[in-house]
Structure 1
Amino acid sequence: MAPPEREFPSDRHRRAGLSRRSLLAGAAVFGGLAAAGCSRVPAEGKVEGGDLLERLRDKGTVKVGIANEPPFGYINDDGEPTGEAPEIAKVLFKRLGVDNVEPVPVDFSALIPGLKARTFDVVSAGMYINPERCAQVLFSDPDYQMPDSFIVPAGNPNGITKYEDIAEQGLTLATGQAYAEIDYALAAGVPNGKLLILPDQVAGLDAVVQGRADAFAGTNVTVMGVVEGNSRVEATEAFVPIVNGEPAYGAGAFAFRLSEQNLRNAFNEELHKIKESGELLEIVAPFGFTEAEMTELTAEELC
């Protein structure tokens, strides 16, 4: 999951390439005319109330961006969205009067661009809250808090327990596209040249098994899930990274456009109800989340 947004040459939390320039050029003409009769698009970076919740209630469907990353959000064998975040979305949006949750799978690094481009209405992918992302989107309060862990060869021959171990030994670290772990590693002194950016944790496991990387960094629940049953690798003990002398708490949440503060606030209100009742843990427990991952942190604190 997850996962600050950074762009790397191979650039989780990945990029959807669109090159329909001629179509967009023509659409711009109609878009300019349509803007006069449709809801106004706010200036970039401006926080406004918004009426998306009312429009979603009228349609009965909310489109959620997911990154196909178990256990945070993915499409199951029946073609349905599931995972920690989509299951929360199903419960909360139903209580907000929107019965249907429609998934829009994209690469993790395309989640915020896709949200801003109105490809979907909400990011439902367990996205980490951090100041860089907070400048681009509105976050709900987090629904989980997660330490990090590494995939390492069986026996952990390099004795890796934290990012600083990678830097001090000059080892190669793999992690996912746009993962927050990229910045954790850089802050610990791992040079860009020793970072191997891969699509996801499965590719990371393969890189460790094949010897192309000495470790793969991800959230503890992600790492634990992918190493299960593989005797050639193991997961290190979970830990909270230290960045600039302070603990970097990885806490994931839903993201909304800056223009839709009313929707974010209504969502937050329902989220706090299921936190207080204990229903939140019941929803996410099937995906490996425990009481230890529940959090009272707020988006304001993390932003």
Structure 2
Amino acid sequence: MAPPHRTPSRGRTDRKSGISGPSRRTLLAGVAALGALGAAGCSRVATASDTEGGDLLDRLRAQGVARLGIAGEIPFGYIDKDGELTGEAPELAKVIFKRLGVDRVQPVPTEFGSLIPGLASQQFDVVAAGMYINPERCEQVIFSDPDYQMLDSFIVRKGNPLGLHDYRDVVEKKARFATGTGYAEIAYAVEAGYEESDILIVPDQVAGLNAVEAGRVDVFAGTALTTREVVKKSGKAEVTEAFKPIVDGEPHVDGGGFCFRPTETSLRDAFNEELHQLKESGELLRILRPFGFTDDEMTDLTAKELCGG
């Protein structure tokens, strides 16, 4: 997901008039009632456990439903035009939780920046929003191994008049720069030398596209996947070639996964086991392909590596 802001070393989910489908704000509004109805209809709410490794998986099996924190971001996790939960993370969650003996999943919408706090306060059982795995977040939650890897790219005006191909270009050419709320791209731009106070923060990639098309900014930074999807219907903007941002002086590749409360290692481990089987069989790519993922986004990175451990 273009992903959220961290100190240089990690978006988005994180991550709308440029692509088919509603905006994140519209999506959140549209699913709020659905989440509220689902919560009201659930008579048993998972609570914290002192059991070593946690007993959440057993309780989810008994309830028959797992609550997924989503951020209404195409293609990571959203409600489609028919009112159905979809996106790369929810579709993968449906498959894995079914294999784990949990029959269905229920969306709980929130803003991207509220996902980890919402998980901690038990508003939902797992974050299924394509969240980037980075050391800062690893201090707060535990992650599955990533189900995808991601590079960055820019939305620019047609023809890329300023010749912007990476964050160093943005700094050197004094380009007007925008990215999304909480996105990792904030830190990448700052590491390249851009003043954080000069960054225009917008809600999502559609707002970023609109800002570029309207000439309010020269460039919007996001994940390669979300930027290439959002410009498909634009007649004024294009997406640059994907590139690796520089983190601590080295080219960096991000990876996104699911996150769990730190006490729930048993659920995380069981989830990882199923995820690895899907990777080995090739089924993972088949699940993610409808959302724009390609073989280039498949990865053998581990959460431990991305957490810096």
TM-score by length of 1: 0.86
Distance (whole Å) between structure 1 residues aligned to residue 119 and residue 282 of structure 2: 30
- SS of alignment partner, residue 193 of structure 2: coil
Structure 1 position 270 matched with structure 2 position 274: yes
2:82 alignment counterpart? 78
1:291 alignment counterpart? 295
Distance (whole Å) between structure 2 residues aligned to residue 214 and residue 208 of structure 1: 6
Letter in 2 for 1:253: G
Contact map agreement 1:4 1:130 (CA 8 A) in 2: no
Q: Deviations over 1:177-197 (max 9, x none)?
A: 111111111111110122111
1:189 alignment counterpart? 193
Q: 1:6 to 1:104 in 2, by over 3 A?
A: same
Structure 1 position 142 matched with structure 2 position 146: yes
Letter in 2 for 1:121: D
5+ long unaligned stretches in structure 2: 16-45
Cα-Cα RMSD: 1.9
Q: Deviations over 1:268-296 (max 9, x none)?
A: 00000000000000000011111111000
- SS of alignment partner, residue 130 of structure 2: strand
Percent of aligned pairs with the same amino acid: 62
Contact map agreement 1:53 1:262 (CA 8 A) in 2: yes
Letter in 2 for 1:136: Q
2:94 alignment counterpart? 90
Contact map agreement 2:186 2:196 (CA 8 A) in 1: no
Contact map agreement 1:149 1:217 (CA 8 A) in 2: yes
- How far apart are residue 2 of structure 1 and its match? 2.0
Distance (whole Å) between structure 2 residues aligned to residue 40 and residue 59 of structure 1: 15
- SS of alignment partner, residue 125 of structure 1: strand
Q: Deviations over 1:130-156 (max 9, x none)?
A: 000000000000000011110001110
Letter in 1 for 2:264: E
1:158 alignment counterpart? 162
1:99 alignment counterpart? 103
Structure 1 position 51 matched with structure 2 position 55: yes
Q: 1:125 aligns with which of 129, 138, 159?
A: 129
1:27 alignment counterpart? none
Larger radius of gyration: 1
Distance (whole Å) between structure 1 residues aligned to residue 239 and residue 289 of structure 2: 20
Contact map agreement 2:5 2:185 (CA 8 A) in 1: no
- SS of alignment partner, residue 58 of structure 1: helix
Distance (whole Å) between structure 2 residues aligned to residue 267 and residue 277 of structure 1: 16
Distance (whole Å) between structure 1 residues aligned to residue 154 and residue 104 of structure 2: 37
Distance (whole Å) between structure 1 residues aligned to residue 109 and residue 258 of structure 2: 15
Letter in 2 for 1:131: P
- SS of alignment partner, residue 229 of structure 1: coil
Q: 1:238 to 1:39 in 2, by over 3 A?
A: closer
Q: Deviations over 1:19-74 (max 9, x none)?
A: xxxxxxxxxxxxxxxxxxx96567xxxx9511100000000000001111111111
Q: 1:113 aligns with which of 117, 129, 133?
A: 117
Corresponding pairs, count: 273
Letter in 2 for 1:223: T
Contact map agreement 2:4 2:181 (CA 8 A) in 1: no
- SS of alignment partner, residue 89 of structure 2: helix
Contact map agreement 2:131 2:256 (CA 8 A) in 1: yes
Q: Deviations over 1:87-128 (max 9, x none)?
A: 000000000000111011111111111111111110001000
Contact map agreement 1:73 1:81 (CA 8 A) in 2: yes
Contact map agreement 1:139 1:254 (CA 8 A) in 2: yes
- How far apart are residue 5 of structure 1 and its match? 4.0
2:43 alignment counterpart? none
- SS of alignment partner, residue 272 of structure 1: helix
- How far apart are residue 6 of structure 1 and its match? 5.1
Structure 1 position 237 matched with structure 2 position 241: yes
- How far apart are residue 229 of structure 1 and its match? 2.3
Structure 1 position 208 matched with structure 2 position 227: no
- SS of alignment partner, residue 105 of structure 2: strand
Distance (whole Å) between structure 1 residues aligned to residue 225 and residue 47 of structure 2: 41
Distance (whole Å) between structure 2 residues aligned to residue 196 and residue 77 of structure 1: 30
1:33 alignment counterpart? none
Distance (whole Å) between structure 2 residues aligned to residue 183 and residue 218 of structure 1: 12
1:170 alignment counterpart? 174
TM-score by length of 2: 0.85
